[in-house]
Amino acid sequence: MLLGGYAANLAPHTSERMCFAWRFAAVTILVGMLDRPVAPQANRPLVILVHGLTGCENSSHVLNGARHLLDLGYRVLR
């Protein structure tokens, strides 16, 4: 799949859209992608990748970082 000019397909790893309700001054919904490695490694923590104001979950640097971590067996939330 091509999103924002970047290939967002992290196959063979799997991705799932996640929504988190966060109540501060008002209820805000935070949206992200939870990526799971095809070969998860035991005792690896979840890695959270946060993009900057001009980026998105499908920015090339976020996807490259996610793929590297997934290949090492980490779960990634971006």
Distance separating alpha carbons of residues 76 and 37, to the nearest angstrom: 8
pLDDT at 27: 78
Which H or E element spans position 7?
Answer: strand 6-7
Q: How many domains does the chain have?
A: 1
Its pTM stands at: 0.80
Question: Is the Cβ–Cβ distance between 37 and 70 less than 8 Å?
Answer: yes
Contact 2, 60 (CB under 8 A): no
Residues constituting the chain: 78
Which of 64 and 5 is assigned the larger pLDDT? 64
* Residue owning tokens 């998105």: 56
Q: What is the mean pLDDT of residues 63-73?
A: 95
Residue 59: domain span: 2-77
Q: How much is the average pLDDT of 16-34?
A: 87
For 1-24, write each residue's pLDDT tens digit.
444 445 578 999 999 999 988 887
